[in-house]
A and B are shown apart, each in its own frame.
Chain A
Amino acid sequence: ETGVTQSPTHLIKTRGQQVTLRCSSQSGHNTVSWYQQALGQGPQFIFQYYREEENGRGNFPPRFSGLQFPNYSSELNVNALELDDSALYLCASSLPGGNEKLFFGSGTQLSVL
């Protein structure tokens, strides 16, 4: 158990819809990162939030957006869902610093039909 919780665990949406995924970070961690993991692939970095500000972004379009709240929990929002957005979405919390270990939640499995 990492102390990082994600909700919901599974979600089914249709193309064009919008989705919000939620993450509660481990106690004491003020940094949250979001990853997308397609079947058979490694997790791909979407973006990171540090002290409620976006602090780095991977190669994902603007329809992927996020928020971090004062209690360090976070949301990932995806607009105009596409079939290729079907994946496991992972949230990881950490302390600030380039070599801090990431603590992952179990993820949200999103299926877009």
Chain B
Amino acid sequence: LAKTTQPISMDSYEGQEVNITCSHNNIATNDYITWYQQFPSQGPRFIIQGYKTKVTNEVASLFIPADRKSSTLSLPRVSLSDTAVYYCLVGDMNEAGGGNKLTFGTGTQLKVEL
């Protein structure tokens, strides 16, 4: 499994755009990149997933450069409720059998203030 490195914490203010970058230098050809969000005393929640270039959904965008050695999660106009831990994961899309078996790192604690 490719190892990921992301900042331990980030601070922001309401209404700002937040970009969290994850480094995954040894990403493999079959690996995809997934981000999860976790609030205290809850399980992680899927945010976005991508393989290359840019992916956008209703809550975030994911930017992946051509070499795929890093990725950036972009949260537009954050609010207090976006305060959470954000995890970047890299896993094999061709994993045999059922489901994925991703292991999470320590994540990035995002704190949004007024």
Contacts and interface: CB of A to CB of B under 8 A. Distances in A.
Contacts of A30: 98
Nearest to B96: A98
Given A98-B94, A99-B91, A101-B49, A106 B100 contact: no
Interface residues of A, number: 39
A99 B100 contact: yes
Interface in A40-62: 40-45, 48-51, 55-56, 58
A41 B8 CA distance: 11
A66 interface: no
A78 interface: no
B97 A55 contact: yes
A67 interface: no
A109 to B, nearest CB: 8
A21 interface: no
Contacts of B93: 97-99
Interface in B89-114: 91-107
Nearest to A40: B106
A45 B99 contact: no
Nearest to A9: B41
B34 interface: yes
A98 B41 contact: no
A113 to B, nearest CB: 20
15 contacts: A4-B43, A42-B106, A44-B104, A45-B101, A49-B98, A51-B98, A96-B98, A96-B99, A98-B96, A99-B93, A101-B34, A101-B46, A102-B102, A105-B43, A106-B41
